[in-house]
Structure 1
Amino acid sequence: METRVEIINHKRFRPYVIGTAQMEKLYTGMRWGEGPVWFADLEMLLFSDIPNDRILRWAEGAGVSVFRAPSNHANGNTRDRAGRLLTCESGARRVTRTEADGSITVIAESYHGKRLNSPNDIVVSADGTVWFTDPDYGILSDYTGDKAESDIGVCNVFRVDPQCGQLSVATGDLVKPNGLAFSPDERILYIADSGASHIEGGPHHIVAFDVNEAGTLSNRRVHAEISPGIPDGFRVDMDGNIWTSAQDGVHCIAPDGELIGKILLPEHVANLTFGGRKRNRLFITAASSLYSLFVGTKGALRP
């Protein structure tokens, strides 16, 4: 299909646009696609179809098949330092790890004896710390989880200590924390606040925090406002640019917060990741479809 690109800053964004690369629709038929994660060793992509309660698998030449169903309304996915799949199970209100033998280990499901809301997106830092967002989307209706009241009464970003497994609050400052990713050097943690999805006049921006040596966050600031729509999932490339979901496609945000370009799509984009043999293929989960596009940059080694 035709690749539609909007170049806003020619000098900064044009090097990332490959003129002969075509947007590819790899699959359609989802109700809300999310959580793409690339497995370089297996040359496959896993991604979630939340309302259909399944995790799907895509591989070049093999198409799409079901990886796990039911999936407890799986949402965000990533890999840990050992290459194991970590999943935010929106329906079960927990974070799990899939072991090498296929068994499931629960990483987090409660905080101070109270159930989590609906874990949404997840990343792992170089030291093995697991970071995840816990908005209330999965308990607002029966569509992407099970409707319920929040036990903890707040939407947090959590971190799981890699040594003892202790769960702690990284920040409780956001209305509806959503996607998250580190800068390439892991000195900055970016987090989407998509509160405008349900709150009139609510936030629709990506905030940045400095990551301190102890793993605590400080110096909260708004990095970029996303419009139209809200920021959901996003990833960072090797140059420090943020490639984020938006209502009209994928927006590319420079390290200084400038919107430098867009990849336009006919569907509301939910999430994306870098993959392929050279990490230069952008895999995009939109409302009903999975797309891909080769770009002139590579994803950061750590998501």
Structure 2
Amino acid sequence: MSETPLYDIRDERFRGLIAGSARLEELYSGCRWAEGPVWFSDMNCLIWSDIPNERMMRWVPDGGVSVFRSASNYVNGNTRDRQGRLVSCEHGGRRVTRTEADGRITVLADSHNGKRLNSPNDVVVKSDGSVWFTDPSYGIMSDYEGHKADEEQETRNVYRIDPQSGKVEAVATDFIQPNGLAFSPDEKQLYIADSGSSHHEVPRHIRVFDVIDGKTLANSRFFCTIDKGVPDGFRFDVSGNLWSSAADGVHCFAPDGTLLGKILIPQTVSNICFGGFKKNRLFITATQSVYSIYTTTNGAQYP
């Protein structure tokens, strides 16, 4: 009986990014929908969201898994700011929050133009301290991942929070369901996933925008299409390759949009992040489980 292959190599360049002897490790199973992985190098741990169970979990090498926060207010995406603080998207609170060093929760955004946000989904922090997040409707479509409610915003937008004034501005308003997002390693482009095909007949794609003066987006164009499922969360490595979630695993795209290959995962993948001591360990959240695998590249993520 043959083993299920781990890699689907579409371009020879992919061989330079993967370790042939690496194995896929299941770190934890028991989630209802795992999301939002973020690596804390200073605390040597991975934190992620288990949205329907309304909790956040923590994994420590050689230390196992524990509950980081419960109740979590249905937190989805997470990242760290340049001071190392946890920044999270809450479906339940329909807001973006920051966890301070003493554990206090600071609300960064919960409305736009006097109306409540939909359900912030994923978030990144730019080097200037500005916070960028997506706001689809997934968290208010039912009571499974949040609280069922009506949309108050006319469109499902991507927003920027100014680091000085705290003003929330819409920087992209033409998405069906904006989802994962990440800056290129040089921060000259912002990549944003549209996962609208999960509930609509539209392409499963990631778009890329030029970042103008660090504040606005321009020159929208398609970067790639996911051929299995929809694009959700994604991250870059130091060479500018984009590693994206998909229904059959993690898809790796070259800077020119070429699909280099896939890491095949037995569950639908929701999000990823690079971590570990050298940032060469890819952490993968999927339907019920969290996996990891070592690569031969390094993540270009924040702290």
Smaller-chain TM-score range?
over 0.9
Provide Cα deviations, 1:172-209, integer angstroms capped at 9, x if missing partner: 1211000000100000100000000001x213100000
CA apart distance, 1:215: 1.4
Whole-Å separation in 2 of the counterparts to 1:181 and 1:94 = 19
| 2:10 aligned partner | 8
Q: Distance in 2 between matches of 1:100 and 1:3?
A: 43
Q: For 2:21 and 2:5, how far apart are their aligned partners in 1?
A: 9
Which residue of structure 1 aligns with residue 238 of structure 2? 238
Does the CA-based 8 Å contact 1:2-1:22 persist in structure 2? Answer: no
**Residue 21 of structure 1 pairs with residue 30 of structure 2:** no
| Aligned equivalents of 2:267, 2:83: Cα separation in 1 | 34
Give the equivalent residue in structure 2 for 1:228.
228
Paired residues for 1:68-147 under 5 Å:
68-147=69-148
Aligned amino acid, residue 192 of structure 2 = I
The residue identity in structure 1 corresponding to 2:49 is S
1:137-216 equivalences under 5 Å are 137-199=138-200, 201-216=201-216
Inter-CA distance 79–110: structure 2 relative to 1 (3 Å threshold): same
Which residue identity lines up with residue 245 of structure 1 in the other structure? S
**Residue in 1 that maps onto 2:291:** 291
Shift of 1:153: 2.6
**Contact (CA 8 Å) 1:2, 1:23: kept in 2 or not?**
no
Amino acid at match of 1:5: Y
Q: Gaps spanning 5+ residues in structure 1: where?
A: none
Do residues 259 (structure 1) and 267 (structure 2) align? Answer: no
Q: Is the 8 A contact 1:3 1:22 kept in 2?
A: no
SS at match of 1:211: strand
Residue by residue over 1:188-239, the C-alpha shift from the partner in whole angstroms, topping out at 9 and shown as x without a partner, is 100000000001x213100000001151100000100001100000001100
Q: Deviations over 1:230-258 (max 9, x none)?
A: 00000011000110000000000110000
Q: Distance in 2 between matches of 1:204 and 1:23?
A: 26
- Distance in 1, matches of 2:258 and 2:111, equals 38
Identity %: 59
CA separation of 1:147 and 1:26: change in aligned 2, threshold 3 A: same
Q: Which runs of 5+ in 2 are unaligned?
A: none
The CA distance in 2 between the partners of 1:24 and 1:2, in whole Å, is 14
TM-score between both structures, scaled by the size of structure 2? 0.98
State the distance in 2 between where 1:183 and 1:202 align: 25
Counterpart Cα distance in 2 of 1:250 and 1:190: 17
Q: What one-letter code is carried by the residue in structure 2 that aligns with 1:195?
A: G
Q: Deviation of residue 302 (structure 1)?
A: 3.2
| Matched position secondary structure for 2:300 | coil
TM-align CA RMSD: 1.1
1:248 pairs with 2:244: no
Rounded to whole Å, the distance in 2 between the matches of 1:84 and 1:214 is: 21
The one-letter amino acid of 2:71's match is P
Contact 2:76 2:122 in 1 (8 A): yes
Structure 1: distance between partners of 2:129 and 2:208: 21
Distance 1:92 1:216 in 2: 27
C-alpha separation between the residues in 1 aligned to 2:179 and 2:286? 16
State the Cα distance separating 1:154 from its structure 2 match. 1.3
Local SS of the residue matching 2:175: coil
Task: Give distance in 1, aligned partners of 2:243 and 2:77.
Answer: 16
Question: Residue 9 of structure 2 aligns to which amino acid in structure 1?
Answer: I
- After superposition, give the CA deviation of every residue in 1:35-65 in whole Å (9 maximum; x if it has no partner): 0000000000000000000010000011110
Offset at 1:301? 4.0
User: How many angstroms apart in 1 are the aligned matches of 2:95 and 2:242?
Assistant: 27
Per the TM alignment, residue 17 of structure 1 is displaced from its structure 2 partner at its CA by 1.3
- CA–CA separation in structure 2 for the residues paired with 1:2 and 1:41: 36
Distance 1:3 1:281, change over 3 A: farther
